[in-house]
Chain A
Amino acid sequence: MRDTTKYIVTFVLIMTVVVALILAGMNTALKPIHDLNEAVYNKKSVLLSISDEFDTPVNDMSAQEVQDIFDTQIDNVVIDAEGNVVEGVNADEVLLETEYKKPKAEQRYPLYIYNKDDGSKIYIISVRGQGLWDAIWGSLALEEDLNTVAGASFDHAGETPGLGAEIKDNPTFPESFEGKKIYNDQGNLTSIEVVKGIIQQPEHQVEAISGATITMNGVTAMLERGLENYQPYFEKIQEQ
Chain B
Amino acid sequence: MAETILKEKESGKEKRKLFEFGKKERRLLTDPLDDDNPITVQVLGVCSALAVTTLIYPSFVMTVAVIFVLAFSNLFTSMLRTRIPKSVRMIVQLVIVATLVTIVELILKAASFTVYKQLSVFIGLIITNCIIMGRLEAFGMANKPWPSFLDGIGNGLGYGAILLIVGLFRELFGKGTLFAGSPFGTLQLIGPTPDYMINTTATSGIGSWFSWYQPNGLMVLSVAAMFLIAGIIWIQRTRNAKLIDVS
Contact = CB atoms under 8 A, between A and B. Distances in A.
Contact of A37 (B113, B180, B195): B113
Contacts of B106: 23, 26-27, 30, 34
Interface residues of A, number: 36
A100 to B, nearest CB: 21
B220 A3 contact: no
Interface of A: 2-3, 7-8, 11-12, 15-16, 19, 22-23, 26-27, 30, 33-34, 37-38, 40-41, 59, 155, 157-158, 160-163, 169-172, 176, 207, 210-211
B110 interface: yes
Contacts of B102: 23
B114 A41 contact: yes
Contact of A41 (B99, B113, B181): B113
Contact of B197 (A27, A155, A162, A172): A172
Interface stretch (B18-26, B83-91, B140-148): B83-91
Given A19-B95, A161-B54, A161-B55, 18 more contacts: A11-B83, A11-B84, A19-B99, A30-B106, A34-B110, A38-B113, A41-B113, A41-B117, A155-B117, A157-B120, A158-B120, A160-B54, A161-B58, A162-B55, A163-B220, A172-B195, A172-B196, A172-B197
Interface of B: 52, 54-55, 58, 83-88, 91-92, 95, 99, 102-103, 106-107, 109-110, 113-114, 117-118, 120-121, 174-175, 180-181, 194-197, 217, 220-221
A8 B197 contact: no
A210 B196 CA distance: 13
Given A19-B95, A22-B99, A158 B121 contact: yes
18 contacts: A8-B85, A11-B85, A19-B95, A30-B107, A33-B110, A34-B109, A37-B113, A41-B113, A155-B117, A157-B120, A158-B120, A160-B54, A161-B55, A161-B118, A162-B54, A169-B181, A172-B194, A211-B221
B110 A12 contact: no
B125 to A, nearest CB: 11
A126 to B, nearest CB: 17
Contacts of A33: 110
Contacts of B84: 2, 11
A160 B54 CA distance: 9
Given A11-B83, A211-B217, A30 B110 contact: yes
B95 A15 contact: yes
A152 B180 CA distance: 21
A109 to B, nearest CB: 23
